[in-house]
């Protein structure tokens, strides 16, 4: 989990990339950015279409030609280090795009939008972007926007140079940083006694500021996107994730996102009010969906398949927490994560504390219409409530099925089983999993793909999720995938069905 530092401020902030390195991945150096002074990119030139399998002769105006990749078949065109004004990336024959270092969309405009400079990055369906090292990340700053909208059959792909060169395997991970979306929505470190506007800093080798008082802040749209082989440990406890949402507001659209083989969390959310839908997180080395500092949004329809051998002391499907504990408890700005229609396929854990769900401090959780399972040989539980104040907040479970070797962690705080409410609200803590894999599934050696409902899951009566949270849609089934004909995850993801390896 990333660490947060509270920074009380209200003006613009200057972005800086901290030096970082790793023995695991070394960036080959994709060219000199030159000056870091923001410049407005010019309109891309129209290329001459090369013969298929041959690289483009040049790059669009405003991007740097950094040579050839993929066995000399693609021209690599690097984005500027700071994007101000409008920059569009289109599918272009013989071309692939690259980022190096902290590629910033805009310069932080602060809490009220009066400072900095706005940038808008638009990415067309089918575009591929790669990065080469742990310090490479795409950062969308406060007051700027990204419009990256793929389609169900033509997703946008963010991946590693190694993947482009064809050297990755189904256990590769941590080959570049990831994507960070920073917004001006509230976060817990600033709300201990009353709502105030302040700024937090997301670490991970990058100085990225987030937070404010605009719950409906709009950072753009992310739809039909793959984020592969990302996440990076700059230092112990200081990591980048596949996708980081920091103070991201509810005006932002985040839908149909896959994070594959992140070396830390798949998605981590720091505060904000963002809502998400249709998520696939497979092979994360730590947690699938990690939340912190007061996220008050929702996520519906999610498949999480856990890595068989994640990092020591990690590897949970959900790990949710809030901010440091103030006194009295009533003054806390609790995290209020809400999920519906998730299926988490756990791993054969050797550490009892690595429960499929872990609820830490300050979490007022709502979990609806969901299925959680792990192998019968696993020593971990489905649920570990690790904080007495999370019990005090009365977490809500409704139409939730547990099929784990142990339903509740032995180290969980008193009242965990009662909070789950086995036998009430259609909850079952001792279910038998009948989940199945796609009939056209591929063999993934480091994770199970049994995420499609079977007879036992189908028999559970669903809760009207829309009545609980307006963002949710009502379903008459639990879990992420109703049956074999429910194929929302196909076409835009990789590693789940045959012919679509990552």
Q: 311-337 b/e with 16+ CB inside 10 Å = b?
A: eeebbbbbbbbbbeeeeeeeebbbbbb
Torsion angle in degrees (nearest 10) through CA of 382, 298, 244, 65 = 120
Global confidence as pTM? 0.88
- The full set of domain ranges for the chain reads 1-27+63-296, 329-339+355-502
300 CB contacts (<8 Å, ≥6 apart)?
276, 277, 278, 339, 340, 341, 465, 471, 472, 473
Beta bridge partners of 381: 406
H helix intervals, 298-392: 388-392
Task: Please choose, from the candidates 13, 474, 12, 502, the residue with its C-alpha nearest in 3D space to the C-alpha of residue 258.
Answer: 502
pLDDT of residue 66: 98
DSSP character string of 29-88: --------S-BPPPPPPPPPPPPTTS--SS--TTSEEEEEETTTTEEEEEPPSEE-EEEE
Q: How far apart are CA 388 and CA 417, in angstroms?
A: 13
Spatial distance between the Cα atoms of 256 and 488, rounded to a whole number of angstroms: 9
Beta bridge partners of 99: none
In the 8-state DSSP scheme, what is residue 109?
Answer: -
- In this structure, the number of other CB atoms found within 10 A of the CB of residue 144 comes to 26
pLDDT the model gives residue 308 = 76
pLDDT at 59: 98
What's the rounded Cα separation, in Å, for the pair 147 and 223?
9
Q: What is the pLDDT of residue 112?
A: 85
- Find out whether 116 and 107 touch, Cβ atoms under 8 Å: yes
Provide the pLDDT for residue 24: 28
Gap between the Cα atoms of 106 and 85, Å rounded? 8
Q: Using an 8 Å Cβ cutoff, are 233 and 22 in contact?
A: yes
HEC string of 226-238 equals: EEECCCEEEECCE
Task: Specify the DSSP element, H or E, that contains 161.
Answer: helix 161-165
In order along its 502 residues, the chain shows pLDDT tens digits of: 433 333 333 333 333 333 332 222 222 233 322 223 333 333 333 434 455 689 999 999 999 999 999 999 999 999 999 999 999 999 999 999 999 999 999 999 998 888 999 999 999 999 999 999 988 999 999 999 999 999 999 999 999 999 999 999 888 999 999 999 999 999 887 654 444 556 677 755 578 899 998 999 999 999 999 999 998 776 666 678 999 999 999 999 999 999 999 998 999 999 999 999 999 999 898 899 999 888 999 999 999 998 876 554 457 999 998 765 555 666 778 899 999 999 999 888 877 778 999 999 889 999 999 999 998 888 889 999 998 888 988 999 999 999 998 999 998 999 999 999 999 999 999 999 999 999 876 666 667 889 999 999 999 999 999 999 999 999 999 999 999 999 999 999 998 886 678 8
Residue with tokens 């590629």: 103
């Amino acid at each position: 989990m990333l660490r947060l530092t509270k920074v009380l401020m209200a003006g613009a902030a200057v972005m800086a990339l901290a030096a970082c390195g790793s023995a695991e991945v070394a960036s080959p150096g994709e060219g000199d950015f030159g000056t870091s002074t923001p410049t407005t990119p010019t309109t891309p030139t129209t290329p001459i279409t090369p013969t298929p399998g041959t690289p483009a002769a040049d790059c669009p105006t405003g991007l740097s030609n950094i040579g050839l990749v993929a066995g000399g078949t693609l021209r690599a065109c690097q984005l500027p280090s700071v994007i101000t004004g409008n920059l569009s990336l289109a599918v272009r024959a013989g071309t692939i795009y690259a980022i190096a270092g902290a590629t910033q969309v805009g310069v932080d405009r602060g809490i009220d939008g009066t400072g900095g400079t706005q940038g808008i990055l638009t990415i067309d369906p089918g575009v591929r972007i790669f990065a080469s090292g742990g310090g490479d990340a795409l950062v969308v700053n406060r007051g700027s926007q990204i419009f990256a909208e793929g389609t169900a059959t033509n997703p946008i792909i963010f991946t590693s140079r190694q993947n482009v060169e064809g050297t990755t395997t189904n256990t590769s991970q941590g080959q570049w940083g990831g994507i960070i979306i920073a917004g001006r929505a509230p976060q817990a470190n600033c709300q201990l006694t009353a709502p105030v506007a302040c700024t937090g800093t997301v670490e991970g080798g990058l100085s990225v500021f987030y937070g404010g008082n605009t719950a409906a802040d709009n950072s753009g749209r992310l739809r039909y996107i793959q984020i592969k082989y990302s996440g990076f440990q700059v230092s112990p406890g200081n990591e980048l994730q596949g996708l980081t949402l920091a103070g991201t507001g509810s005006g932002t659209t985040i839908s149909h996102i896959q994070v594959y083989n992140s070396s830390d969390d798949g998605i981590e959310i720091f505060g904000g009010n963002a809502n998400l839908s249709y998520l696939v997180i497979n092979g994360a080395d730590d947690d699938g969906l990690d939340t912190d500092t007061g996220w008050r949004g929702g996520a519906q329809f999610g498949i999480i398949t856990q890595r068989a051998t994640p990092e020591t002391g990690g590897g949970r499907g959900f790990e949710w927490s809030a901010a440091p504990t103030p006194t009295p408890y009533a003054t806390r700005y609790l995290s209020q994560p809400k999920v519906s229609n998730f299926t988490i396929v756990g791993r054969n854990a050797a550490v009892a504390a690595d429960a499929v769900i872990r609820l830490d401090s300050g979490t007022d959780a709502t979990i609806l219409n969901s299925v959680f399972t792990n192998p019968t040989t696993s020593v971990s539980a489905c649920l570990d409530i690790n904080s007495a104040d999370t019990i005090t907040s009365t977490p809500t479970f409704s139409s939730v099925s547990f099929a784990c070797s142990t339903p509740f962690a032995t180290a969980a705080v008193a009242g965990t089983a009662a909070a789950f409410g086995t036998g009430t609200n259609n909850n079952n803590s001792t279910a038998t999993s009948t989940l199945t894999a796609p009939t056209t599934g591929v063999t993934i050696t480091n994770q199970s793909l049994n995420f499609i409902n079977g007879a036992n899951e189908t028999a559970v009566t669903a809760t009207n999720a829309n009545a609980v949270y307006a963002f949710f849609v009502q379903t008459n089934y639990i879990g992420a995938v109703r049956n074999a004909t429910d194929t929302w995850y196909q076409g835009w993801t990789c590693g789940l069905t045959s012919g679509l390896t990552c």
